[in-house]
């Protein structure tokens, strides 16, 4: 389990992020049209998994905006924005913001992505949501970079994530 913080207060997650050099575990997430997608559907593309508690918080919204801007300049790379938000909330936010370069995916059905990747917050006011993290995968699903953001209110290190591609 990872010890992270929420505004300086300690909270725990269900585990730790996958190790760099390991094969990423498969997942099934819900797209904004309510269909499902798995890791294998992205085979052949580099992936930036931008993971966060909720699109309806300022830091999460900022990370989606920044990765959307960055994604427009990347080749053979997809930015997956993953949370437990309902797909309707993800669609509303990205539509209002005009964000078209990221793929919003939801783990709302059973939280299995968060549990598999060690991201589910187990205590505190955000228990059940995902911690803020970034995972970068190569075209074959190998983990190239991970960042567990120490305090949920902080932004990830965008430059390190992009440099890992």
What are 55-95's pLDDT values in tens digits? 776 665 676 677 667 766 788 888 898 999 999 887 776 55
Contact status, residue 14 vs residue 29, Cβ threshold 8 Å: no
Check pLDDT > 80 for residue 146: yes
pLDDT 10s digits, 101-135: 678 899 999 999 999 999 999 999 999 999 999 99
The reported pLDDT for the residue numbered 128 is 96
Q: Give catalytic status of residue 81 as yes or no.
A: no
Residue with tokens 């300086």: 8
pTM here?
0.89
Sign of CA dihedral 67, 105, 55, 152: negative
Domain residue limits at 39: 2-164
Convert the pLDDT of each residue in 27-40 to its tens digit: 999 999 999 999 99
Residue 60: phi and psi, rounded to 5, are -65, -45
| pLDDT given at position 163 | 84
Cα–Cα distances in angstroms (integers) from residue 7 to residues 49, 124, 137, 154, in the given order = 23, 11, 29, 9
Which strands sit side by side in the sheet containing 46-51, from one edge to the other? 36-38, 28-31, 102-106, 77-83, 46-51, 133-137, 143-148
pLDDT at 154: 80
Among the listed residues 136, 165, 149, the one whose alpha carbon sits nearest the alpha carbon of residue 22:
136
- Report the pLDDT value the prediction gives residue 158, as an integer from 0 to 100: 77
Q: For residues 2 and 48, which has the higher predicted lDDT (pLDDT)?
A: 48
Q: What is the pLDDT of residue 34?
A: 96
Total of domains in the chain: 1
CATH of the domain at 132: 3.40.30.10
* Marked catalytic residue, from 49, 60, 71, 149: 60
Residue listed under structure tokens 């797209």: 31
């Amino acid at each position: 389990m990872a010890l992270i913080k929420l505004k300086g207060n300690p909270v725990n997650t269900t585990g730790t992020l996958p190790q760099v050099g390991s094969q990423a575990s498969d997942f099934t997430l819900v797209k904004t049209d309510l269909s499902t997608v798995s890791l294998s559907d992205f085979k052949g593309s580099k992936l930036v998994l931008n993971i966060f508690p909720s699109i309806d918080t300022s830091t999460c919204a900022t990370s989606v905006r920044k990765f959307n801007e960055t994604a427009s300049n990347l080749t053979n790379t997809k930015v997956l924005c993953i949370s437990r938000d309902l797909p309707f909330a993800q669609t509303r936010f990205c539509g209002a913001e005009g964000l078209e370069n990221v793929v919003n995916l939801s783990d709302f059905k059973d939280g299995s992505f968060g549990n598999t990747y060690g991201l589910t917050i187990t205590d505190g006011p955000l228990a059940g949501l995902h911690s803020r993290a970034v995972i970068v995968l190569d075209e074959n699903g190998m983990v190239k970079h991970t960042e567990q953001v120490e305090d949920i209110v902080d932004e990830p290190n965008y430059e390190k994530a992009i440099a890992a591609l």
